[in-house]
Structure 1
Amino acid sequence: MDEVTESWAGRLLVATPRLEDPPFRRAVVLVLDHGPDGAFGVVVNHPLEVDVSTVLPGWQRFATAPGRLFQGGPVGLDSAIGVAAVPAGRAAPDGVDRIAGAFGLVDLDAEPASLALPGLRIFAGYAGWGPGQLDGEVELGAWWVLDALPDDPFTPAPDDLWSRVVRRQGGDLALRHLWPEDPELN
């Protein structure tokens, strides 16, 4: 695909069973930007065994349960990205830039207490694609592009998110939520 005709910012990329690359196996990615120059997003269902306070002590009490740092993707693992819920019909607070729909990027250099956020996740790294790369992967069947619910990136049960998002689609796609994590064990 040479030209992006529709931005997927604010939508979910859900890895299809044919995508077995370890960072993206059964991944759910919130797309933060998608355009002619490429795309980037964060994997919202891969929590690490690291509390937010280990990296950003002032942000721990604002982080949505389970209060862990999430591996946002394989790129830039030494960087932190904050994603917040920004309710529809409300302006984004200072220190938050709305990206699409109910989601915004948080200025992690801001004073945490100055931001009233109903949902916040901190990610180490991100997923990135060059021009046309993501569109090509979608065309090849590696990803489903699905609508995000405002709570998806902030779920307290991220390990079940892949199945829940697929199941709620209905029809034949919903049946894919039963696909075993390791088909070899079926």
Structure 2
Amino acid sequence: MESLRGRLLVATPAIASGPFLRSVVYLLDHDEDGALGVVVNHPLDAGVEDVLPDWGAHVNAPVCLFGGGPVAMDSALAVGVLATSRPPLDGWRPMGGRVGLVDLEGPLPGVGQLLGLRVFAGYAGWSSDQLEAEVAEGSWLVVQAEDADLISPQPEQLWREVLRRQDDDLRFWTTFPADPGAN
């Protein structure tokens, strides 16, 4: 399988519970050793300023931590979208296009450098061939990402929004009930 870096994984109803239920994952890295991403649609009740006081003013709404995935939930990872395609800021690690990791121990971004920033508690990770197997079994749909997906002001709506914009039958997944047993 070619690298899925910079693409979205959208959970199908085959994932019926757990941290990936109706999740949208932005893949930061994917190669023969495995994959790493962050769940971009699971905001937490914790404010960024509670954990990283200096960073709260740099995070776009909603200004909260996001549950990035079940791995290393005691660590923070910041993902940003550059405002322009100019050379990256200090502490910037490009991931693809205008998206990259921001070093939380480095300097704060300057005004206008970032279009948006999110801080994630934990991340999602897959070992070699694990993600490929989950895609093949129908647990994940792989779709194109847009920069706005990472910084959506309504992240809880992202699962449906991403599926609705697809040009094929994938958009019909939005009609799948939250609890099929209740029908």
- Larger CA deviation: 93-102 vs 30-39: 93-102
Residue 46 of structure 2 aligns with an amino acid whose one-letter code is V
Per the TM alignment, residue 87 of structure 1 is displaced from its structure 2 partner at its CA by 4.7
- Larger CA deviation: 113-122 vs 54-63: 113-122
Per the TM alignment, residue 113 of structure 1 is displaced from its structure 2 partner at its CA by 4.5
Per the TM alignment, residue 170 of structure 1 is displaced from its structure 2 partner at its CA by 2.5
Q: Does 1:69 align with 2:65?
A: yes
Q: Does 1:178 align with 2:172?
A: no
Unaligned stretches of 5+ residues in structure 2 = none
Query: Could you tell me how far apart the structure 2 residues matched to 1:185 and 1:37 are?
Result: 41
- Structure 1 segments, 4+ long, off by >6 Å, are none
Q: Does 1:94 align with 2:94?
A: no
Query: What per-residue deviation string (whole Å, max 9, x for no partner) do you get for residues 121-168 of structure 1?
Result: 000000000000001100111001110011001001000000000011
Q: TM-score, normalised by structure 1?
A: 0.93
Query: Counterparts in 2 of 1:103-118, with a 5 A limit?
Result: 103-114=99-110, 116-118=113-115
Q: Does 1:129 align with 2:144?
A: no
CA RMSD of aligned residues (A): 1.3
Q: TM-score, normalised by structure 2?
A: 0.95
Residue 103 of structure 2 aligns with an amino acid whose one-letter code is D
Identity %: 49
Unaligned stretches of 5+ residues in structure 1 = none
Contact 2:78 2:104 in 1 (8 A): yes
Query: Counterparts in 2 of 1:1-186, with a 5 A limit?
Result: 5-87=1-83, 89-114=85-110, 116-186=113-183
Secondary structure in 1 matching 2:158: helix
More helix by share: 1
Secondary structure in 1 matching 2:55: helix
Contact 2:163 2:170 in 1 (8 A): yes
